[in-house]
Amino acid sequence: MPALTAREKLEELRRRLREKDNLLVAFSGGVDSGFLLTVAHEVLGEKVLAVTIDSELFSRRELEHVKSFLDSAGIAHKIVQFSWLRNEAFVINPYNRCYHCKKAFSKILKEVAAEEGIRTISEGVTVSDFDEHRPGIVASEEEGVWHPLVEVGITKTEVRQMAKEIGLPFWDKPPNPCLATRIEYGERITVEKLKMIEEAENFLKDMGFRQVRVRLHHGGIARIEVGKEEIEVFFDTKMLEDICGKLKTIGFNYVTLDPEGYRSGSMDSLFI
């Protein structure tokens, strides 16, 4: 049987969503969850509820993006607070950190769904996510969270293609997972470290960098990753001084630039 085209996959996704009486969509503000939410709302209308889980792991910049999009789209939405500090298995930051986080996330989503009388909880996980280190997917599947994009066989590239076609305003937005993904495994996660990372990344974005990661390593080392096409900007000595000075003021002890540029999941490379 020939593989489905992107258009055929979109129609199959709509068909599967249409079968649901109602649906909760976990919305992080990213393209994958935004695409799923938009298609679900198109098909199910008021029977869809978007839920965003908020904490210091989620940047204020992303939260404002979430609110702005949902207000303009007219989609019912709930923001739920997440107390991750009480989860010691997550705070110690092991290699399977995301499993513990997603387990707690999924339980919160189930509580909201029960309160709202919603039978199905969904996430924007794609087929491409299985090519990376994603222990959180296992946790969400254990909790019964539905991954419709995976069932239909949709990849991240196809999500962006289809998101553009259906008019999702941020179809080309760079990925931006939770701030804890910037902290080296084994380095304890604290509110202070998360705020340092958020402030540093906001500073670089305000300077015009589009794809940014500030990775925090042992000893207070900041490893900056930007898109490969943006690295040459760092050849400006004055800019380098400004960036180093700012990040040290924020609290980093040393500031480095990664010449390989941005790579999704670069913290996982030592374990692969």
Q: Tell me the CATH number for domain 179-271.
A: 3.30.300
Residue 1 has pLDDT above 90, yes or no: no
Give the model confidence (pLDDT) of 14-52 as tens digits. Answer: 999 999 999 999 999 999 999 999 999 999 999 999 999
Q: Tell me where in the chain the CATH 3.30.300 domain(s) lie.
A: 179-271
pLDDT bracket for residue 272 (50, 70, 90): very low
At 237, which helix (H) or strand (E)? helix 237-250
Please state whether the predicted TM-score (pTM) of the whole model is above 0.75. yes
Q: How far apart are CA 176 and CA 29, in angstroms?
A: 9
Q: Tell me where in the chain the CATH 3.40.50.620 domain(s) lie.
A: 6-165
Give the model confidence (pLDDT) of 199-213 as tens digits. Answer: 999 999 999 999 999
Report, at the CATH architecture level, how domain 6-165 is classified.
Answer: 3-Layer(aba) Sandwich (3.40)
Q: What angle do CA 152, 75, 205 make, to 5 degrees?
A: 85
Q: What CA dihedral angle connects 123, 140, 108 and 102, to 10 degrees?
A: -100
- What pLDDT, on the 0 to 100 scale, is given for residue 2? 66
Q: What is the largest CA-CA distance in the chain?
A: 59
As a whole number, mean pLDDT of residues 119-126 equals: 97
Give the model confidence (pLDDT) of 132-164 as tens digits. Answer: 888 999 999 999 999 999 999 999 999 999 999
Query: Are the CB atoms for 78 and 48 separated by under 8 Å?
Result: no
As a whole number, mean pLDDT of residues 84-106 equals: 94
Among 2-6, 7-11, 258-262, the minimum mean pLDDT is found in 2-6
Q: From start to end of the chain, where are the E strands?
A: 23-26, 48-54, 77-81, 121-122, 212-217, 221-226, 254-257
